[in-house]
Amino acid sequence: MDTLTLNNGVRMPALGLGVFQTPPDETTAAVSAALELGYRHIDTAAAYGNEREVGRAIHESGVPREDVFIETKIWISDFGYEETLHGFDKSAAKLGVDQIDLLILHQALPSDFDRTLGAYRALERLLADGKVRAIGVSNFMVDHLTRLLDATSVVPAVNQLEIHPYFQQHAVLDFDDKHDILNQAWSPIGGITHYPGWGEDRKSVLEDPVVTGIAEAHGKSPAQVLLRWGLQQGRSVIPKSTKRKRIAENIDVFDFELTPAELAALDELETGRRGGPEPEDVTLASFGKPIPEA
Ligand code: NDP
C-alpha cells in the first residue's frame, strides 16, 4: 500500500475505504472485509451515522489500533469552537478511540464563516492537545481556503473534494498544491455520477468509453483505472463499496500504471458539472441536522 506524507509529517495510506451511504447495519461487515483485504485507512463522518460501526469493526479486527488510519468529519451543525470540541468527543466516543488520526471540517459554512473559523480553531486546539494527529477540511473552495489561511495558524493537511474525470476542480487542486494541502478525492470512481436513485440524467463515468477502453487495454476494471488516475497524480482516494468483491477490486490497483497519454485522455473528460452540493450554497437551514450524542 502506498502512503502519503501530510504537511505535518504524519503518514497516511493513500487509499482508504469510504462509508458514505453505507447503512449502519452493513458498515461493520464492509469495514471488517476491508481490513482483512489490507485496507488500513477508513473515511467516515459524524453525519454518516456509522462511526460506531466503523469503530466496532476496527476493534474486532485484531489489527493494532496504531496501524489503522481513522479519518472523520465534523458536521456544520457542530461548528463553533465549543461545539466542535464537543463534536470531537462525540466522534471519538462512537469510534471507541482516544485519538483520531485525521479530523476535518465536512464543509465550509460560507453564510457564517466566523462559526467555520471557530470550528477550525477547535481542530487546532485538538491537534495541540494530541487528540488528533492531523486536521483538515473538505469541500473548501479557493475563497474559503484563502479566508481560512488568513485567520488561522495551522495549514490544513488535507482538502477532501469531489474529484473524478467529469469534475476535476483544477483551481482548487492547484491552490492546495501551492500551499502543501493534500488533495483527497471523494467519489474517486465517480460515485456521485451513478449513485442509485440520484436522478436518471446522470451519466456514470465508469461507463465512459474512454475509461472502459483504457480498462480493457490493461485487463483491469473501470473503477481500477479511475483510482490509478487519482493515485498517479499524488491524490488520496477513498472508494466506497459495501460489497466484498468490489472492496477487493478497489484496493488491487498497485500492480499497473497508466501512461501519460492515458492520464491525459482521462483529463479531457472534464464536463464542468459538479455532482455534489455547491459549496458556496451550504447553509444550516438547508443542510443542518443534529449529530446525536455518543
Ligand atoms: P465512489 O466513487 O467511491 O463510488 C461509490 C459507488 O460506486 C457506490 O454506489 C458503490 O456501490 C459503487 N462501486 C464501488 N466499487 C465499485 C466497483 N469496483 N465497480 C463498480 N461500482 C463500484 O463514491 P462515494 O461518493 O461514495 O465517495 C467515496 C467516499 O468519499 C464516501 O464513501 C465518503 O467516505 C467520501 N465522500 C465525502 C464527501 C464529502 O462531502 N466530503 C461526499 C461524498 C463522499 P456498492 O457499495 O453497491 O458497491
Residue bearing the CA closest to ligand 1, atom 46: 241
Residue bearing the CA closest to ligand 1, atom 18: 246
> What is the distance in A from the centroid of ligand 1 to the CA of 191?
5
CA–CA distance, 43 with 238 (Å, rounded to integer): 7
In tens, the pLDDT along 218-232 reads 999 999 999 999 999
The verdict on residue 292 lying in a domain is: no
Q: What is the CATH number of the domain that holds 93?
A: 3.20.20.100
Produce one character per residue of 243-282: b if its CB has 16 or more CB atoms within 10 Å, e if not.
Answer: eeebbbbbbbbeeeebeeebeebbeebeeeeebeeebeeb
Digitized pLDDT (tens) for each residue of the chain, 294 residues in all: 799 999 999 999 999 999 999 999 999 999 999 999 999 999 999 999 999 999 999 999 999 999 999 999 999 999 999 999 999 999 999 999 999 999 999 999 999 999 999 999 999 999 999 999 999 999 999 999 999 999 999 999 999 999 999 999 999 999 999 999 999 999 999 999 988 888 777 899 999 999 999 999 999 999 999 999 999 999 999 999 999 999 999 999 999 999 999 999 999 999 999 999 999 999 999 999 999 999
The verdict on residue 186 lying in a domain is: yes
> What is the distance in A from the centroid of ligand 1 to the CA of 130?
31
Q: What is the extent of the structural domain holding 75?
A: 3-287
As for how many domains the chain has, the answer is: 1
The verdict on residue 190 lying in a domain is: yes
In tens, the pLDDT along 191-211 reads 999 888 887 778 999 999 999
> What is the distance in A from the centroid of ligand 1 to the CA of 19?
8
Q: 0.95 cut: is pTM over it?
A: yes
The verdict on residue 266 lying in a domain is: yes
Q: Give the number of the atom of ligand 1 that is nearest the alpha carbon of residue 73.
A: 41
166: annotated active-site residue? no
Q: In testing the pocket of ligand 1, which one of 31, 41, 163, 187 has its CB within 8 Å of the most ligand atoms?
A: 187
